[in-house]
Amino acid sequence: MYSRLFLMAIVALITGACQEKINIKLKNAGPYVVIEGNLSDNIAEPARVFVTESADYTDTVFFHPLHDAIVTISDGLLTDTLKEFNAMGIYLSPNIHAVVGKSYKLSVFVKGQLYESVSAVNPPVAIDSIYKTTSNSNKNRLSFNFRDPLGVTNYYKVGIQVNGLERGVNIVADDRLTDGKLKTVVVNPGFEFQANDSINLSLLSVDQGVYTYFYTLNQNTGRNSGAPANPVSNITNGALGYFNAYSVTTKKFIYP
């Protein structure tokens, strides 16, 4: 079960290493159901689940939205049904939010198959300080500190908004070597911060399954990775993607 990215990497490897022209017949992979679910303890954020289908290698569109899915989230006592927004494969509900200490089950029934995932909500961890740093090439970067709770296994994911716009960063961390210590994270987002940028930094407390998904995503798509592969999903029945029920703390910073 390889993604389109994997097949593209194989083609690039072969064509870059050989001078002789080689024609390769690639088999289309999939399509596979892709689910990306997020449930926050922030009451301003609705529960949201993207349900799409991966495209064939020869397709010009990477993902296709899946309509008429039955999407529910349950805490074991109450079940909430999410509704599709504007026929875009995005299912939303403002009625359910994550509560620390609870576990939530996502169920998606689509195309005759049931996909499920369970995610536990860990306690939030406060951001201590944010400050300007620079890279080795003198590019503007950002770092922040937080105190990891002692004696508790923690997993983290970083989110960032710049001037009100969400910027895609995939930074995750654990406390395997920093339990109970002050931890520093360098934010290297792939672009350079500018003076007076208004930055909202988010520190998500996630569970192990979500951490593993984003960690393997980094490993498979990083500059020094081998042949790309699909990250390890926490969703059953062969779906790609993840379900993340989390708590979050945020801190605002004006870039100097």
In the chain, the domains with their CATH numbers are 4-120 (2.60.40), 127-231+247-254 (2.60.40)
pLDDT at 191 over 60: yes
Q: What secondary structure does DSSP assign to 90-140, as a single string?
A: EEEESS----TT-EEEEEEEETTEEEEEEEE-PPP--EEEEEEEE-TT--E
Weakest-pLDDT range from 15-24, 139-148, 170-179: 15-24
Other C-beta atoms lying within 10 Å of the C-beta of residue 40: 20
Which tokens go with 146? 């937080």
Residue 30 pLDDT grade (very low, low, confident, very high; cuts 50, 70, 90): low
**Nearest CA among 235, 215, 138, 140 for reference residue 174:** 215
Residue 179's alpha-carbon distances to 146, 161, 248, in angstroms, are 12, 28, 19
pLDDT tens sequence across 116-126 = 999 999 999 99
Other C-beta atoms lying within 10 Å of the C-beta of residue 42: 14
Residue 230's alpha-carbon distances to 7, 12, 56, 215, in angstroms, are 11, 18, 15, 12
pLDDT, mean of residues 198-226: 86
Which tokens go with 52? 């799409």
Weakest-pLDDT range from 23-27, 66-70, 170-174: 23-27
pLDDT at 24 over 50: no
pTM for the full predicted model: 0.83
pLDDT tens sequence across 74-111 = 999 999 999 999 888 999 999 999 999 999 999 999 99
Share of the chain above pLDDT 70, in %: 82
